[in-house]
């Protein structure tokens, strides 16, 4: 009976490691390490738009040019890093556009709110390039 406790601990560890790296959940559904949803509002009273983007192997999704968006994001160090606290930003208005990006990138959760309300946020928006295919002006 002394062997049962350690044996169960080893089995639990092996199971946890196998499912952590497999890209599947407990129900067996597959999840991408780069799977995003973009919801954007042009700020002009028109209905919001929503797109998907998957960048694992072949680029896919409803975004107008998923291959370009994937290549662009994969070329960035931290595409979804939030703006640092206390950063000084120029007081300029880049437009009423807003967006929300959610999902998973490089295996990490993404939940990023975007706007064009000051210089820092305009640069953040522009840096994401083809991920945000709504007109700005």
Domain 34-79+91-137, what fold? Subtilisin Inhibitor (3.30.350)
Give per-residue burial for 20-30: e unless 16+ CB within 10 Å, then b.
eeeeeeeeeee
DSSP 66-129: HHHHHHHHHTSS-TTPPPPTT--------EEEEEEEEEEETTEEEEEEEEESSHHHHHHHHHTG
Q: How far apart are CA 87 and CA 31, in angstroms?
A: 35
Q: How far apart are CA 58 and CA 68, in angstroms?
A: 11
Indicate the domain borders of the chain.
Answer: 34-79+91-137
List pLDDT tens digits, range 60-84.
Answer: 999 999 999 999 999 999 999 999 9
List pLDDT tens digits, range 79-104.
Answer: 999 999 999 999 999 999 999 999 99
More confident residue, 86 or 10: 86
Instruction: Determine if the pTM surpasses 0.85.
Output: no
């Amino acid at each position: 009976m002394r062997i049962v406790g350690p044996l169960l601990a080893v089995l639990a560890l092996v199971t946890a490691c196998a499912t952590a790296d497999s890209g599947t959940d407990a129900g067996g559904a597959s999840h991408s390490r780069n799977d995003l949803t973009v919801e954007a509002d042009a700020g002009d009273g028109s209905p919001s738009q929503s797109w998907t983007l998957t960048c694992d192997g072949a680029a896919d999704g409803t975004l107008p040019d998923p291959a370009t968006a994937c290549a662009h994001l994969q070329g960035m160090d931290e595409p979804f890093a939030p703006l640092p606290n206390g950063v000084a930003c120029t007081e300029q208005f880049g437009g009423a556009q807003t967006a929300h990006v959610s999902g998973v990138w490089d295996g990490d959760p993404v939940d990023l709110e975007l706007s064009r309300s000051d210089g820092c946020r305009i640069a953040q928006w522009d840096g994401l390039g083809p991920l945000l295919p709504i007109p700005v002006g």
